[in-house]
Amino acid sequence: MSFGFSPRRIALFAVFVVHLFPLSAAADFYRYTDDTGKRHMVTDPDQVPARYRDQLRTVKTRPPAKRPPKHAAAPPTRARAPQPSQQAKTVEIFVTPWCGYCKKLERFLAAEGIAFTRYDIEKDRAAERRYKRLGGRGVPLTVIGKNTVTGYNPKRVLELLGRS
């Protein structure tokens, strides 16, 4: 059995390494300011008008670094004032900013005139802990009195509020 380094093996290894360690793309941009004070950025110095070429600056750029989300406590927000028939039951929703069904639930509650308290579990650590204690396994999570509703279920929300 031979472990020789054939050109084919070297080429396969090179392809493997390139895919294993993707290169970060960097590009050169050129910046100049026009007579009105507006800054312009171009990718080719030939795109700069001749009268501005003396002030040309090269700007090296790299793809933006991924940053973890900031977890600052966000105060819960209140929707419309409760109607007299709803004052006995509180409605709380646990949401995330990227959740489409969370936004849809908020619009539904507002359209129905149902007051609610909104907790963003990615920004509010206390809300996240309470969400987990309630058995949260998905968003939105709606709490009405002692009942929970997981996901977008407007029919069940109205039912629990006695408005079915």
Q: Are 141 and 106 in contact (CB under 8 A)?
A: no
Residue range of the domain that includes 43: 24-63
Q: Is residue 133 part of a domain?
A: yes
90 lies in the same domain as 151 = yes
57 lies in the same domain as 103 = no
Residue 46: the pLDDT is: 78
Q: What is the pTM of this model?
A: 0.48
User: What is the 3-class SS of 108-161, one letter each residue?
Assistant: HHHHCCCCCEEEECCCCHHHHHHHHHCCCCCCCEEEECCEEEECCCHHHHHHHC
Q: Quote the mean pLDDT of the chain.
A: 77
- CATH number, domain of 107, equals 3.40.30.10
109 lies in the same domain as 46 = no
84 or 32, higher pLDDT: 32
- Residue 79 in this model has a pLDDT that exceeds 70: no
User: 140 preceded by cis ω (within 30°)?
Assistant: yes
- Residue 1 in this model has a pLDDT that exceeds 90: no
119 lies in the same domain as 84 = yes
Residue 82: the pLDDT is: 47
| Domains contained in the chain, number | 2
Residue recorded with tokens 């990615």: 122
Residue 129: the pLDDT is: 94
Q: Mean per-residue pLDDT for 62-69?
A: 57
Distance in angstroms (rounded) separating the CA atoms of residues 88 and 69: 36
**Interval 30-46: pLDDT, tens:** 677 788 777 776 667 77
Q: Is residue 140 part of a domain?
A: yes
140 lies in the same domain as 86 = yes
Q: Is residue 12 part of a domain?
A: no
